[in-house]
Amino acid sequence: MGAVIKAGTKLSSTVCQTQIMALRVPSDEIEISCGGAPMSAEDDDKGDINADLAGGTLVGKRYVDEGETMEFLCTRGGEGTIQVNGNALDVKQAKKLPSSD
């Protein structure tokens, strides 16, 4: 069961302390989860984290999907792995700048 998320929306994990803010999202319905449980707009009570999805999140890092069509900013780190529609997001890598010789 997905939902349409708008840029600027803050979502909190229901199994750890992770909180993210949507920076770039599609206009389609998407399902965002962390640690194997759906994320919520409220800071809900914490359940149990799925040990297989406990890769952790780092505060201040941007997380993107494989095609970099979606981007989320981690505003509070935690133990869970962020997923969109069942696919884990990766930390966005810095782009290399041309040398200035």
At 91 the pLDDT is 95
Number of residues assigned to the chain: 101
- Per-residue pLDDT 10s for the chain (101 aa) are 578 899 999 999 999 999 999 999 998 999 999 999 999 988 776 788 888 888 899 999 999 999 999 999 999 999 999 999 999 999 998 888 888 76
Q: Where are the domains of the chain?
A: 10-91
At 52 the pLDDT is 86
At 11 the pLDDT is 95
Q: Within 10 Å of residue 52's Cβ, how many Cβ atoms? A: 9
CA 68, CA 94: separation in Å to the nearest integer?
13
